[in-house]
Structure 1
Amino acid sequence: MDLQISVFLLFILFTAGHSFRCYDCLGLTGSCANQTVQTCPSGFSQCQSLTVVIQVGSITYKTKAKDCAPFCQSGSINFGFMKVSYSCCNTDQCNAQDAPDPSNVPNGKTCYSCDDWSCSNTVSCSGTEDRCIKATWIAGGKSVKGCASKSICDVTAFSNFKGISCCEGNLCNCEGNLCNGAQSITQSFLFLCCSLLSYFLLH
């Protein structure tokens, strides 16, 4: 009996002292080679890896990052000017591998996307992006549209976005004036890119 109590107490002490940990890194040159291990804050029960690719004219910027996350879904989002690939897991230090680069292989689906002037542009979806997505960018309060994996669409808020809604048909993420160019997107396109990238890198 005493042995059972001792084993039970040791188990409690061990589990109480164990903190959830994830790899942490920021690779601004497309590599996440210098990663460290961090203890996650309370409520952060998942590890994430992500790869962000931003296209500005003929210039491509790629960033890889790893961190703790309160909530994460594996999949990808494609806004045309920016693609993000997420890999998520929920065991200790499970994000050792980098998230894959977002797919460039078109899957035949097309969705509306937004730029600096309107939301009447279109983007070709790639890889597992089998839904059209509409969402609100939390930091700027602006509409964003594009393609997304079903896993991303299974939640109502994700990462830097809220009010997420998705649909399955081609060009189905159209809503009134947002699809005919009548409503201008006043937020600077380049500023939006930089702000979104900053959020992904700092959270």
Structure 2
Amino acid sequence: MELKIFIVLFCALFTGGHSLQCYECLGMMGSCESKETTCPDTATCASATIVQSTGGNEVKMQSKGCKVKESCISASVNFGITRTVTSTQCCSTDRCNNNDAPDYGSNSPNGKQCYFCDGKSCFNKLNCLGDEDYCLKATATVGTLSETVKGCVSKSVCDATSQANAGFTGSCCQGNLCNGAKSVTQNLLFLLWPLFFFILIH
């Protein structure tokens, strides 16, 4: 159920309209079959590869379509129990997004540590990977449910946090284990955090 919602919300990041002609598709577990779409004047063509890892399971998704230039970023968000890495390539000529974006990010520890929440405690230590050089503490509200999470993120995620949507608040810091603060009660909403990530960087 959570994955279906994730796909719907990610598709919402790719808008249609007029002007630039781009390929458009969404595919799980490999390349997707593309059709053509017409984009708004403010959009570019985009190709994105998203890799979500939860436990020992990994899901890869390819997406193509129209995207505003400001949201053409590559980033990693790691909440310990789940990690989502997105690579986005944008271009500004007709049908230039034919190729899949290459995988982004590294799985190698970079020496930085941040706290993360596992449903019982928010003081678990997490080894950050790749370019996850910031710690994040964030809270999102969906209806009556509110969830606070902590983890390692790329700088581009922190830049997007300052422009977050209503219902989302977050703060970044650079020191090791700097996202301590008070522990919170967890609930099953943590399963939806990949959705908030993509809403955040839109």
Q: Which amino acid aligns with 1:97?
A: D
Q: Larger Rg: 1 or 2?
A: 1
* Contact 2:138-2:171 within 8 A present in 1 as well: yes
Percent identity between matched residues is 38
Equivalence for 1:184: 185
Q: Once superposed, which parts of structure 1, at least 4 consecutive aligned residues long, lie more than 6 Å away?
A: none
Three-state SS of the structure 2 residue aligned to 1:154 is helix
Per the normalisation by structure 1, the TM-score is: 0.67
TM-aligned CA distance change 1:141 to 1:69, over 3 Å:
farther
Q: How big is the shift at 1:158?
A: 5.5
Q: Distance in 2 between matches of 1:138 and 1:23?
A: 34
Q: Deviations over 1:108-157 (max 9, x none)?
A: 11111223333222322111111112223354542222112222222313
Structure 2 residue 157 is the aligned partner of structure 1 residue 152: yes
Three-state SS of the structure 2 residue aligned to 1:164 is strand
Q: Deviations over 1:40-70 (max 9, x none)?
A: 35754573513132223x3333333334334
Q: Deviations over 1:150-201 (max 9, x none)?
A: 22222313589832321111111122x22xxxx2112354x436x739x77x
Mapping of 1:88-127 within 5 angstroms?
88-89=89-90, 91-92=92-93, 93-95=95-97, 96-127=99-130
Structure 2 gaps, min length 5? 1-16
Structure 1 gaps, min length 5? 1-16
TM-aligned CA distance change 1:158 to 1:120, over 3 Å:
same
* Contact 2:31-2:100 within 8 A present in 1 as well: no
Q: Distance in 1 between matches of 2:65 and 2:125?
A: 32
* Contact 1:25-1:32 within 8 A present in 2 as well: no
Equivalence for 1:60: 58
* Contact 1:48-1:69 within 8 A present in 2 as well: no
Q: Distance in 2 between matches of 1:123 and 1:45?
A: 36
Which has more strand, going by share of residues?
Answer: 2
Three-state SS of the structure 2 residue aligned to 1:51 is strand
Aligned length: 176
Equivalence for 2:4: none
Per the normalisation by structure 2, the TM-score is: 0.68
